[in-house]
Chains A and B, each alone.
Chain A
Amino acid sequence: DIQMTQSPSSLSASVGDRVTITCRASQSINSYLNWYQQKPRKAPKLLIYAASSLQSGVPSRFSGSGSGTDFTLTISSLQPEDFATYYCQQTYSTPRTFGQGTKVEIK
């Protein structure tokens, strides 16, 4: 199985801050990397697919980059509705695997 490791596990930030979350794969996954946002008691929501493609309807303040083993999710200016947990997922091979999550909290 491909292991996905996110950092940090949690972070505190203020509205308007630039936030960066990283995800590392245990082997190369090309660009088969997705990012999801999950709010409490809600299903995950797809934000970014193929490492850097913005899912339809997702605000442009979200962006993704990377390829191979190292990936980044950036929120350019944190908004109140962005406080949530973020997960990366590899779709290079099965079983699909997720990172452990990064919780973005209000400072």
Chain B
Amino acid sequence: QVQLQESGPGLVKPSQTLSLTCTVSGGSISSGGYYWSWIRQPAGKGLEWIGRMYTSGSSNYNPSLNSRVTISLDTSRNQFSLKLTSVTAADTAVYYCAREDTTSYRKLDYWGQGTLVTVSS
């Protein structure tokens, strides 16, 4: 059973960089057919897709965040990470990591529990 777990600071100051890590267990992030993704959800609002990375290093980002976002993989630790620069209060949200399975259509089939990140001084 694949499991994902987010970790990182729960409080980030405005203009600083938000950094989160997702640790994957029960499966290898090096396995083909899967994209490793980040999604966020401001309190009381809907889901916003941030971006994803494949094991090859190929990535896609939401244009609304494109210039501020970087997703990377650490295959030695079976982790992937999110960096979001120049944060503002609008970046306050619960951040989820998830696996997009492209071996059987395309679906976000495993999700982390989510971690709340607050941007405040």
Kindly specify which of B17-25, B26-34, B41-49, B75-83 makes contact with the partner chain. B41-49
Q: What is the total of A-B residue contacts with beta carbons within 8 Å?
A: 64
Q: Which residues of A contact B63 (CB under 8 A)?
A: 1, 95
CA distance A100 to B44 in the complex (A): 11
Task: Tell me if B96 counts as interface (CB < 8 A to partner A).
Answer: yes
Among residues of A, the one whose C-beta sits closest to the C-beta of B106 is A91
Which B residues are in CB contact (< 8 Å) with A34?
Answer: 106-108
**A55 B47 Cβ-Cβ under 8 A:** no
A50-B105 in contact given A1-B63, A43-B111, A95-B60 (Cβ < 8 Å): yes
Contact A36 B46 (CB under 8 A): no
Kindly identify, within residues 75 to 106 of chain B, every residue whose CB is under 8 Å from any CB belonging to chain A.
Answer: 96, 98, 100, 104-106
Q: Is B120 an interface residue (CB 8 A)?
A: no
Question: Could you tell me which residues of chain A, from 29 to 63, have a CB within 8 Å of some CB in chain B?
Answer: 31-32, 34, 36, 42-46, 49-50, 53, 55
Contacts of A101 in B (CB 8 A): 46-47
Residue pairs across A and B with Cβ atoms less than 8 A apart, 11 shown, are A32-B105, A43-B96, A43-B112, A46-B108, A49-B105, A55-B107, A91-B105, A95-B49, A95-B63, A98-B48, A101-B46
